[in-house]
Structure 1
């Protein structure tokens, strides 16, 4: 604020020129001499101060107050304007996935379902969840896209799995019958001294 200009961007080149041309006793040179090999050519005001500089503290404080009063915060571009995303297909979806807001264990999916939509409100949906009608907010659901012929293929797959395998029933029991498998299909092998 010691310069007549109120904008620091107007004064910055002059300040940098002064820093670069200042004599340093420890290296016996200025920064400009180290970079360019010769001293910078400076205006005469650096060596003799101008006589019309005002050092009145009251004028400085009044100018400082005026400058601070003119400062206004810049409006933020996204300040407190929350936008919500609601899928367009949610208005016509027959089935939806429901987000579970409770704390989950590791690797547990955040959504359950799909659940059938029974009725629609402006901000709510009524769903059939485990033979009960549940009203939930549209913020907790997302549309489920289910293929129409998916139910027929599942019935065929279960029928195929339910038929007994005749090749394994006719064979005598072997040591492989005692092999245990986990739900994921990994074979559990116990040491021989644990086997019956």
Structure 2
């Protein structure tokens, strides 16, 4: 049973929404009307048609690719035709600029690179990581196993006289010490170096007193 801790949701903590709400509230206060629902459409129309110096355009032109027709334009003359031509020319240039933009290949910053031992290219024996379920005393690696063949991504391992292909991400080189002498030579050296019995020697204390121990308690007694 897992206990998940979280904090309560506070809408006022969303800065993107609250910034736009602050702008709406300031614009509604400028109108002398107690019913703000009647003033809200006019305020939204003004925000959408407002000129943005950083974008050199309005929000409506970026969305619909043409300027928004305001109510006063239906009543005034069209003496400012050149002004609308400039806006249309800007939208044309903006559309051409957007068409020239090409997507950039994204990068996965959260992807971790697997560590690969350099000695895997030359080692003869490897350990295989055990990825299945295991108890507390289960060793993390199995082996060592002999390498039959290898490539850049996978190895062919001899596991219980069967050829098993394993990915290189699960392998770790095994460093095995090869004995120069056989077991017979080692046992022969031990027999010749160690005598069958140990000769008795007189043991004396600092005062010169001779100490004797029972024969059955002495090491090497025969």
Q: TM-score range by the shorter chain?
A: 0.3 to 0.5
Say which one has the larger Rg. Answer: 2
Higher relative contact order (CA 8 A, sep 6+): 1
